Each structure stands twice: as C-alpha cells, then as structure tokens.
Structure 1
C-alpha cells in the first residue's frame, strides 16, 4: 500500500494548510493509502525552512505551506526547487493575484485572519477551558461550562472534551469514582448540560487490561477486575439516576461519533428552550 506523508508548514498556526491537506486526503480511504500528516507551525526563519525541507526529503513527504512573509516564502520556494520534494503553495499565488488586483501591498503579517475572527478566539478560549477543568480539577468551572461530561475511567472523557473544545464548546469532565463524592454544585446546574458516558462491562474490561499492559503492570490489577468494574458501573448508574441527565453509550463509538451525538443533544436542548420562551 502506498504511504503518503504530508508536512504542513506555516508562519502561523498552520490551520489553513492543515485543513486543505486533510480535505485532499479525505478523498482517499485508508484502504487506498496509508496517510500521515505532520504540522510545522511558526516557520519564521531560514533555519526553520531548512528543517522542514530536510525532514521532507528524509521522509519522502509532500510539503503543503502557507507562508505570508515574502522573504520566507521565496526562500522556501528556492529550497524546494533545489530538492526533489513535491510541494503546494496555498497562500502565495492568491496573495500575488490580490496584490495585482488591488494595486496595494499587503501587510505580510502571519495570523491576521485569526486576530480578526471572533470564532477563532472562542475556540481558543474553549480549548484552554477544557485543559483547565479536565478530570475534575476544579469544580468551580461547572457553572461556566457549556457541557459537563461524566464517566468512569477510560470512557474517553478527555479526548471528547478536546474534540468538543475545537468546536468552541466549553467542556468540563468529571471522573465518576465510588470513593470520591461528586461536587455539590454538580446537582445545582441544569441537568441538560450534563452528558453521562456509559460503557459496557466487557468493553471496559478489555480497554483497562490493555491500558495496564501498556503501563507494564499486567492485567490482574484490581483496576481491571470484574468486581471493581461492576462497583464503578453500579455507582455510575446511581449517580446518573440521581442527576437525571442524558446518557450516551460509548462502547462501540468513535470519538467523532460520540461528539456529534453530544452536540446534537445540546443544540436540540437549546432549540427546545427557545421554543418555550417564544
């Protein structure tokens, strides 16, 4: 099977080039080619360019780049021409056309689109929120959260929080552990904001045993025993019944699928509230 490596290089965060690269790759299934993308943000010097091109040569990668500063872009073009690396300049041709059409020099300043984009700031704020309030670190965030995730260990709370944060939702996740009393303010917020992540005993047992093996601890620790898992699941169901929140079974779902279900639930709840107020 053909392997395709893409290096995304940018003098900002690289989101634009990354989206274009992934959009292109999405037209080919994993059965057709093995795909891998690496991002090199903040390419701001000739040394950075040298590194990108060298890595691309070493890994037989395609370089997809968005470089605004003309001197850095020109240097990238020259280095790529000297090499055998295939490349796509996403920003350069459009910038040249716009400059000729408008008959003015552009700012040549990386990242301007994000500074002008309120949605970008909201997303960054949501990402920072998810990190700050991950794994029940600070219950003070409960009242500020758009979504609160509940789940026992290994139900993908953290990756779900990060995925939803990239969709600009402020997400706080709380681990459900029988020995730990949930924060009082969890029972004071609207239960429609709370999503409980359910998982089957068999699936959880398998995941935890694999996790223990990865940590070099074997698979006999209490963490992965049927008795412990049953205790946690029973406590989980008791807590969920007490709160009266929505439950999603994540046993056989990908992160993206679960996240889409959560977003649909939250958006529907918001829509229902609007109908009540109208």
Structure 2
C-alpha cells in the first residue's frame, strides 16, 4: 500500500474490538499504514448513512461490530448498493457459538465493556484490600466500603480478599489492648463497619494451631485464655464505642461470614 488507505470502523458500542482487528490485519500490509476512522455508538439508520457517504467518497472498507440485527442488515444492504466492502467481524463467530451452544445471542451492544469495567473494579478492590490490610494505613478506613475490626485470627484478611473479589473495597483493623485504635474508626458512619467476634475456645484452638505452624509454640501467652479474654473484652468495648453491627465468626467458613456481612449491611444501607 503506497498511500494510507482509509478504513471506517463502525460499532453500536465503543468500537475497540473492531479497531484492534483492523490494526492487526493492517500490520500484515506494508507495516500497517492505514487511517482508521472510528464511528462509535451507531444507533440508527441515519448514523449508518453518514458513514456510507464518507466511505463512498474515500472508496474505503467498512469494518464493523454491530450486534443489533436491524442495523447490521441495513448496513449490509446499503453497502452492497453503494459498492462498498463492509466486513462483519462478529457474525461468523456468533453463528458458530449459536450452533454449538444452541442459544440465541443477547444482541445487546456494550456487554464486553461492562465485563471489562467489572473486572477492573475487582482488581482495584483487591489492590485496596492488600494496601489497607491489618491496619497498615488508617487512611484506608475513610475510603473503604466496608471496615472489618476484630482481634487477631478472626479471618479479617481472608474476608477482606473474599469481599474484594465481589468488588467491595475493604479495610481491616486489628484490635489489640496495647494499641490505641485509629481515630478514623470513630469518624466513619457506623454502617460502614463490622465487628468480628469469636468464642474464646475456638480462638484458643486457632491460635495454638497457628503457633505450631510457625514453630512458635513457646509463645504461650498469645494462645492463653487469660490473654484471649482480655483481648475479646477490649475488642467488645471498642465495637460498642463504634456502634457497629457485630458478627460471630466461630465455626463459620469465610464464605458464610461474608454472606452474613453483606446481609447485615443491606439492612443498614443500600448496597
């Protein structure tokens, strides 16, 4: 290709998919010297006529990703009448899927973009949970959708990650008698916070196992009943001061506790 050829990319959504495909093909011809002109959110016959006028003038190709059947059929017919090559980038694969899965496609534009947005929200929430895990930075408390508070080994971190996968930004704060809780905890709305409690027996069992796994069985104080009761008493006082809902995590799987957290918050606010 000596000069830059024009390709019109037409879509009833953003048009990124068609743009990528055109670029990929163009690189196989003289280094990809193609002028790609995108026409996004095409939603009626008039929009298609506007593109056709330009394509006829430039004698260019139209590459399109249109999932609305009436628009697709109209573009195919009018392109043929005007002697313009219009390439449907989706239909062959959609027909293969339809035949294979014996299902009708939704024919709704923008579904890929919706999936992408949900994916990036999830990644953002996971990064947030990592950054504001274990009270590392109290500034996360005011930015979080959900703040989890409780003593050590009440599943705060696993719950934060599980809820992050459901696109909630979660910060968690350990409650320790020797450490003053961050002031931010008392500044946020009570509906943003959940207190996690656990039975002394269960916590004793979990902590003993944790010490064994770390080879620190000699640190008996961490798992002693006296220490555990002191921590739980301190945590309960903080939770009452915050005024947050409280959930008992004893003998509950992370998934079950997460479900309870979301149920409690739905009563407090609209999620």
TM-score of the superposed pair, with normalisation by structure 1: 0.57
Unaligned runs of 5+ in 2: 1-89, 99-110
Distance 1:203 1:101, change over 3 A: closer
1:128 is aligned to 127
The answer as to whether partners of 1:213 and 1:219 remain within 8 angstroms in 2 is no
Instruction: Return the alpha-carbon distance in structure 2 between the equivalents of residues 201 and 189 of structure 1.
Output: 29
Instruction: Return the alpha-carbon distance in structure 2 between the equivalents of residues 225 and 197 of structure 1.
Output: 20
Distance 1:213 1:98, change over 3 A: same
Instruction: Return the alpha-carbon distance in structure 1 between the equivalents of residues 249 and 97 of structure 2.
Output: 52
1:267 is aligned to 266
1:151 is aligned to 150
Instruction: Return the alpha-carbon distance in structure 1 between the equivalents of residues 239 and 91 of structure 2.
Output: 54
2:241 is aligned to 242
RMSD: 2.5
The answer as to whether partners of 1:195 and 1:246 remain within 8 angstroms in 2 is yes
1:119 is aligned to 118
1:179 is aligned to 178
1:52 is aligned to none
CA shift digits 1:218-246 (9 cap, x unpaired)? 26521011111111011011111111110
1:233 is aligned to 232
Greater CA radius of gyration, 1 or 2?
A: 2
Shift in Å at residue 151 of structure 1? 0.8
Shift in Å at residue 259 of structure 1? 0.2
1:222 aligned counterpart, secondary structure: helix
CA shift digits 1:154-209 (9 cap, x unpaired)? 00000000000000000000000001101111101101111000000000000000
Number of residue pairs aligned between Structure 1 and Structure 2: 170
Moved segments of 4+, more than 6 Å: 99-102
1:179 aligned counterpart, secondary structure: coil
Instruction: Return the alpha-carbon distance in structure 2 between the equivalents of residues 177 and 95 of structure 1.
Output: 60
The answer as to whether partners of 1:139 and 1:185 remain within 8 angstroms in 2 is yes
The answer as to whether partners of 2:191 and 2:269 remain within 8 angstroms in 1 is no
Distance 1:113 1:204, change over 3 A: same
Alignment of 1:98 onto 2:94: yes
Distance 1:262 1:95, change over 3 A: farther
Alignment of 1:217 onto 2:230: no
Instruction: Return the alpha-carbon distance in structure 1 between the equivalents of residues 190 and 161 of structure 2.
Output: 21
2:180 aligned counterpart, secondary structure: coil
Shift in Å at residue 267 of structure 1? 2.2
Instruction: Return the alpha-carbon distance in structure 2 between the equivalents of residues 197 and 129 of structure 1.
Output: 20
The answer as to whether partners of 1:114 and 1:121 remain within 8 angstroms in 2 is no
Shift in Å at residue 141 of structure 1? 1.1
Shift in Å at residue 216 of structure 1? 1.2
Shift in Å at residue 147 of structure 1? 0.2
2:160 aligned counterpart, secondary structure: helix
